[in-house]
Structure 1
Amino acid sequence: MKHIDPDIFHFWINNYIGSNYYSRYKHIEAGINQDDCAIINLKNGEKIVITTDYLNANPIALELKIGNFYDLGRITVASNISDLCGTGAKPIGFLLGISSNKETNQEDIYDFVKGAKYELDKIKVPLIGGDTKLGKSNVFYGVAVGYADSKMKLYPKNSAKKNDILWVTGKIGSLSASVHGLSLNWGNQNWINWAKKTIINPIIPIKLSNQLSLKKIANGGTDLSDGLGADLKGLCRSSNLGVLINANNIPLDNNVLKLAVHLAIPEWFYSFIIGGDFQFIVSTNKKYRTQMQELGFFEIGVLKEFSYGLKIQHKSRIIDMPDFGHKDDRKMSFKEEVSYLLEKLKINCNEN
């Protein structure tokens, strides 16, 4: 029996419903594969933006035995809200879904909800509903609801433009490096503390998203849930574009650099592995460079015509950009996947 591949199932759905499906529904601004969120038109140009995301079946925090259900609640909220940030919508509500197996202590489920509420309270978003079931395993998901009073405030991933500058909100690759370093039992106590905090303490760039939305200068964007290469490929595919990334411009934490130096690998490799840093990428016309820099965004590349392909400048060479990232279908633990993808990166970039 062949199982579905969850990483490409949305393409099957899109093909099944047909390319003209949304033409029947004038109130739909963006649907499947057009953005990571659904965008629904209301009256007077207002938009409701909705996204949903499951917590991974084997969360990193539990796999590495450094987190608890409270932490999982926080991460479930962050993974959904980051989708809204990557589209430019202002979060206005959150729904929480829980399926608990009969062996799970009810206190753990209470802690999960407490963690979710803590993360929501931080960003002043209300918990407005959800559902709870008993099942064969623990399953957690969220539904985040956002709002925009104008299309100009949004930057869906199918709206990037040729010659746009590509920006990222903050340091990326930290989660990948944390998983890798901890799995190798590497680092002094300060490094280990940083790695554990990186995994269980999500920081959502909601302020940057709101500020950018108000300026109405962004074109296309997406959050980095699966790694820079995989998610940037999705943006380029949706907008029918190519890209050139400057590896030296990718912002990285000093602790990522330390691990990369220890292992004698290019430090930017970690940004192309499993994502999970809750940052987002976004494109703007080059005339907005100064405004973006003043906001605190990092310039990492430029969007090209589709025929250019996906490229990255590494040292003095321009090579094919790695476009792989986290995939559930690999059926690997996160420790295994990080090691596997690092070896794959070495081969693809001739770094052996």
Structure 2
Amino acid sequence: MDEFGFIAEYLSRLAGPEGLELKDDAAVWQPPIGFDAVISMDTLVEGVHFPKGKFDAQIAQKLIAVNISDIIAKGADPLGYFLSLSVPKETNSDRLKDFCHGLSIAQKSYGVKLWGGDTTRTSGPITLSVTMIGTVPKGKAVLRSGANNGDLLCVTGTIGDSYLGLKILLKQIDTDITQARYWQNTYHIPRPPLALQAAILKYAKAAIDISDGLLADAEHMARASGVGMDIFLSTVPLSTASTAWVLEQPDHQTARLQLATGGDDYQVLMCVAEQNFSRLKKQASRHEINMTAIGKVVAGTNVRCRDSQGREIPVTHPGYKHF
């Protein structure tokens, strides 16, 4: 199947009206009056972000989800996306069809449509990029730089499941099949908290999605805001499966630290005024989403990880770095 056959047969079905049926060289879109456009881009590379040979519906869903989480963290409403797809010549039509099926599932989950993009052949690893477009009321985007001394630091969902999913795939840990399947599913198909977009916009003073690792992304937000942060490791929320894994390890604190620095969680870390936390938590519970206070914004410029007694825990590697 050639490029144009692939677009006509599979991708055009995913297109929104802005994409002009994918028959033109560009999309046409008019942002609503009173709104700013919020634009984010993420890339997944075979052998770096997903296992070699795994080009399927799950990877397509992950590709959309990791971009959605960036938009949600701005308090924005995701609308559409552009897809860049570079695959080897020998990629057969069944694999392309399965990938597009995954895009369709993700589009229905997050309410977005394909607006355009580019497809190319490559002699290197499969490379997938999405540029996601959203809107937010003018001047109201939630930035990394809005945290203030005294704010509570809180996080959606649970942390560390994706890290353990990767460890299973790399055969670095062994566990029962139920736990393994849960962790692998979380790694392959993240679930950013779309239902909290409006609450993040209303209550968050600063926010960031967790991709590099909870502690690393807290550092990004602290640096942008010019503040320090104290994070209490024992309060970082874990799933039942991950809690069980921690309890099986010889050093529980080290195990928890691994989960807090593993990355690929695609939950949202945010700062809120202390008086607003209960309102935010109530909104989250209505959508059956965990919302946990894990620390506080403090004076200074460093992010410190602390134990339950308030003692600082040394952190050598707070998260993932590409360079």
- Place the TM-score, normalised by the shorter chain, in its bin: 0.7 to 0.9
8 Å contact kept, 1:72–1:112: yes
**What letter matches 1:270 in structure 2?**
Q
Residue-by-residue CA offset, 1:77-103 (whole Å, 9 max, x unaligned): 011111111111100111111011223
* 1:82 is aligned to 2:69: yes
Normalised to the residue count of structure 1, the TM-score between the two structures is 0.74
8 Å contact kept, 1:218–1:282: yes
Cα deviation for residue 54 of structure 1 reads: 0.1
Aligned match for 2:227, one of 241, 244, 254: 241
In 2, Cα distance between the equivalents of 1:310 and 1:76?
29
User: What is the identity percentage for the equivalent residue pairs of Structure 1 and Structure 2?
Assistant: 23
8 Å contact kept, 2:232–2:310: no
Residue in 1 that maps onto 2:304: 311
Map residues 141-180 of structure 1 onto 2, 5 A cutoff. 141-152=129-140, 154-180=141-167
Map residues 187-336 of structure 1 onto 2, 5 A cutoff. 187-213=175-201, 216-265=202-251, 266=253, 267-296=255-284, 297-307=291-301, 309-319=302-312, 322=315, 324-329=318-323
In 1, Cα distance between the equivalents of 2:65 and 2:186?
13
Cα deviation for residue 45 of structure 1 reads: 4.7
Equivalent residue of 2:147, what SS?
coil
**What letter matches 1:140 in structure 2?**
L
**What letter matches 1:298 in structure 2?**
T
Q: Which runs of 4+ in 1 moved over 6 A?
A: none
For structure 2, the 5+ residue unaligned runs are 1-30, 285-290
Instruction: Count residues with an aligned counterpart.
Output: 282
Residue-by-residue CA offset, 1:275-314 (whole Å, 9 max, x unaligned): 112201011111112102212321111111225x221221
Residue in 1 that maps onto 2:28: none
Greater mean deviation of Cα atoms: 139-148 or 268-277: 268-277
8 Å contact kept, 1:170–1:279: yes
Greater mean deviation of Cα atoms: 310-319 or 76-85: 310-319
Cα deviation for residue 186 of structure 1 reads: 1.4
Equivalent residue of 2:263, what SS?
coil
Cα deviation for residue 317 of structure 1 reads: 4.3
For structure 1, the 5+ residue unaligned runs are 1-41, 330-352
Alignment RMSD (CA, Å): 2.1
Normalised to the residue count of structure 2, the TM-score between the two structures is 0.81
Equivalent residue of 2:85, what SS?
strand
